[in-house]
Amino acid sequence: MNPSALDQLVRDVTAELARDARGPRVAEMLSRYARGHNDWREFALFDKRSYARNLLHKDELFELILLCWDAGQVTPIHDHRGQRCWMGVLEGRVDEALFDVPAPGARSLALRNTRRHERGAVAFITDDIGLHRIAQVGSEPAVSLHLYSRPIPTCRVFDPDTGVVGERTLTYHSVRGVRVDG
């Protein structure tokens, strides 16, 4: 039996990150998957209260999470705890707002720019690049595939008006299509 395209993506990313932890080919792999496959749909669970984080794969090298966005849903401004993050858009549109990392004691965040991402687009960010916020755009839901190399159990969130920094424990709405209680 042939592996699904999603399972093949996991195998390919595993081999790539084992070869080179910087993942020079990961963006290309995610883009090719995003443009040509729909087997992710069986794992796409939404939540009306917040964007939904649906875990597809997790090991010591990386975690792969399907984010499902209803209209108007948005992340807080956040970092990635020193890890590399790729985001491939599978359906719909999302905006990414990039912010400069604030200096210690700063009371506000400086917006650097915004970018719109549609199906097949892949964005990349590290904490060296900056902080970001992702938001669903338009009236149709959006779905994006996020790959964190290495898994991220927590992130720092930043209030753009006060400069207050908090820590958020990251949870999942589902694991491989099975809802998580809580």
pLDDT digits (tens, 9 = 90+) for 70-106: 999 999 999 999 999 999 999 999 999 999 988 777 7
pLDDT at 1 (0 to 100):
61
Rounded mean pLDDT, 104-125: 90
Helical axes 26-36 vs 5-19, angle rounded to 10°: 170
pTM: 0.93
In this prediction, residue 162 carries a pLDDT of: 78
pLDDT at 91: 97
Kind and range of the H or E run holding 167? strand 165-169
* pLDDT(171) > 70: yes
User: Which range has the worst mean pLDDT, 22-31, 57-66, 95-104, 165-174?
Assistant: 95-104
Fold of 5-172: Jelly Rolls (2.60.120)
| Beta bridge mates, 157 | 78, 166
Q: Is the pLDDT of residue 107 over 90?
A: no
Instruction: Give the model's pLDDT for residue 164.
Output: 84
Give whole-number Cα distances, 61 to 1, 152, 181, in Å: 26, 11, 26
The answer, yes or no, to whether residue 108 has pLDDT greater than 90, is no
Residue 119 near residue 89, CB atoms below 8 Å: yes
Residue 109: predicted pLDDT: 85
pLDDT the model gives residue 78:
96
- Confidence class for position 30, pLDDT limits 50, 70, 90: very high
Burial of 60 (0-12, 13-18, 19+ CB in 10 A): exposed
Distance from C-alpha of 139 to C-alpha of 93, rounded to nearest angstrom: 10
User: How far is residue 176's CA from residue 75's CA, in Å, rounded to a whole number?
Assistant: 22
DSSP 8-state code for residue 74 = B
